[in-house]
Structure 1
């Protein structure tokens, strides 16, 4: 990478952070004027309890999109991990942490299977993950007998506020964001993932095997879906086999709004976190001002389309 291209990358990253932060602050000011209850501890507590699952799964999806892939199975994999966790606790009498490890491991296995099939047979990850979506959802129904499993207070501590209204779940999610950004920007494997998304053939010709590195990304996506399941179960104190329906769309939306390219090769975990905040603040603010659910979906969809259009113009500007 030349000095000029490096400088353009740094400047572009700063502009992205500034633009996203400005949009987030503008939304907060707008909803603050529109609703008397937006700037309250209750709203802050609601947001901090709702976003940990979305945050950790969006971190994983950032890496998947960076290597030029996509994973549509994350919502179903999350439901499967939650169902296995609940079964281990309720039916087998396992301790919560042991059951959690089992659920996370199963989710990681689902992710690894998606990656191995997609990479090994050169099948588009869109198709493979769509199949895994159905398999994982069916297994979740099978494990729970299509019923919600109530675990009770055994897992509530993970989402219980401990300091300034923040729970261990949101603190863990923030730690994962920091770790993800460091891996992406400060490690060899992170730079290799970016290179794979930019030009996989060039990476292969340089003597680096892309396939195992891509499978690792999908396994990590599954693992973080399992962590998200733990956060969701702790908040609801139950595992719902219907949980996470449509979650993959929220996750992808947050990542795209954060500036990660759908074409691969460019992304930032910190920007993804800001994208999660934008999605969450938008939904909370629209709900507080009385916008109907159909209109909320329309507005959110327009924001996603706008983010993709801006990404297209940004890529054209970089080529110029």
Structure 2
């Protein structure tokens, strides 16, 4: 009898675990099924929504928002918010593009790149050609000779150091995201400022900084000589760039999701994150260093922001300072749609991924059904409102 009760209890526990694990994807499956039926009803055998190519495109388009939503999941669990995530992604992508264009490895070693050295030599040659007296001509000739030697030196150094530029640019891009998160965490923790206000301010700061780095334009490194193939292949849907049916960036996102889920549920840091989000005052009384952990939380979120910046550059192969405006709403909405609570203490990695996928499915389904962009925006807004309403209902029910 005892064994039977234990077996029954274990079975119930397993069912509850399976339900909790699958719940985030139940809404995703429902939304996808509705669009599939609607597309088939409208186009018949020509329906493209359920085709492999369209599903691959959905997964690829979701990757940027999804990887940023992983970091936002940790922030929201801790009871915080980050409105600067969109412009921080654009800043990371812009810094990465600038590093490639300026050949940052070579600049760090010799102080300038080949293009800059050539430009200075060309200007000196123009001055020599414009010289009108012997003294000016002599000075110009000397200057040209010096810059010719300098150009040859820089060109020779480029053969050794330029190969390191893609890797250093990667460090700069991801490091920029980490710096943005670190700054947010420091301002929130040690200046005791509200996360909403802090990140609202840093959102504008990162946007202005990206514009300053890009000189108010788009940074365009040469795709043929300065952008490695693996950068462009990261989120490319070309058959040659795919691995097991999808781009490598999608698999990287899945691996990062697994690692983050393990960190949140099986490490001391993960327990601290949930404790801070559930009740910060109690966490402090239990001996948790709240300021230090908040800085770690926002810096970890910044790491995912930097990776999202890499993804964005992979898709666009340029650094556009304004490309992240509005992206923060989609990132936050991914976590909320996936069951995360804006009150803190509750969110899941699977929920964030499913929320990001739901938004991509809605966008793709509306495109297949030829729904106009304004209607797409309204539908997405309705989905977000419903998700927040459900969250509030759950919160009220649990506290009753």
Q: 1:22 aligns with which of 26, 46, 55?
A: 26
Residue 135 in structure 1 maps to residue 146 in structure 2: no
> In 2, Cα distance between the equivalents of 1:135 and 1:12?
45
- Aligned ranges for residues 1-320 of structure 1 at < 5 Å? 14-35=18-39, 36-94=47-105, 95-151=165-221, 152=223, 153-154=227-228, 155-160=231-236, 161-320=241-400
The gaps in structure 1 that reach 5 residues or longer are 1-7
User: Could you tell me whether the CA contact under 8 Å between 1:111 and 1:218 is conserved in 2?
Assistant: yes
CA 1:201–1:81 in structure 2 vs 1: closer, same or farther (change >3 Å)? same
User: More deviation in 286-295 or 11-20?
Assistant: 11-20
> In 2, Cα distance between the equivalents of 1:47 and 1:266?
27
> In 2, Cα distance between the equivalents of 1:13 and 1:267?
15
> In 1, Cα distance between the equivalents of 2:191 and 2:296?
16
> In 2, Cα distance between the equivalents of 1:13 and 1:260?
17
User: Could you tell me whether the CA contact under 8 Å between 1:178 and 1:270 is conserved in 2?
Assistant: no
CA 1:10–1:303 in structure 2 vs 1: closer, same or farther (change >3 Å)? farther
Q: Secondary structure at the match of 2:62?
A: helix
Aligned to 1:3: none
User: Could you tell me whether the CA contact under 8 Å between 2:98 and 2:319 is conserved in 1?
Assistant: no
CA 1:113–1:9 in structure 2 vs 1: closer, same or farther (change >3 Å)? farther
> In 2, Cα distance between the equivalents of 1:118 and 1:27?
37
CA 1:216–1:122 in structure 2 vs 1: closer, same or farther (change >3 Å)? same
Q: Give the TM-score, by structure 1 length.
A: 0.93
Q: Give the TM-score, by structure 2 length.
A: 0.75
User: More deviation in 232-241 or 161-170?
Assistant: 161-170
User: More deviation in 154-163 or 275-284?
Assistant: 154-163
Shift of 1:13: 6.3
Shift of 1:179: 0.8
Shift of 1:119: 1.2
User: Could you tell me whether the CA contact under 8 Å between 2:96 and 2:172 is conserved in 1?
Assistant: yes
> In 1, Cα distance between the equivalents of 2:36 and 2:354?
19
Shift of 1:17: 4.0
Shift of 1:150: 2.5
User: Could you tell me whether the CA contact under 8 Å between 2:341 and 2:347 is conserved in 1?
Assistant: yes
User: Could you tell me whether the CA contact under 8 Å between 2:178 and 2:301 is conserved in 1?
Assistant: yes
Aligned to 1:4: none
Q: Secondary structure at the match of 1:150?
A: coil
User: Could you tell me whether the CA contact under 8 Å between 1:258 and 1:274 is conserved in 2?
Assistant: yes
CA 1:304–1:9 in structure 2 vs 1: closer, same or farther (change >3 Å)? farther
User: Could you tell me whether the CA contact under 8 Å between 1:49 and 1:235 is conserved in 2?
Assistant: no
User: Could you tell me whether the CA contact under 8 Å between 1:66 and 1:264 is conserved in 2?
Assistant: yes
RMSD: 1.9
> In 1, Cα distance between the equivalents of 2:17 and 2:335?
15
Q: Secondary structure at the match of 2:232?
A: helix
User: Could you tell me whether the CA contact under 8 Å between 1:16 and 1:259 is conserved in 2?
Assistant: no
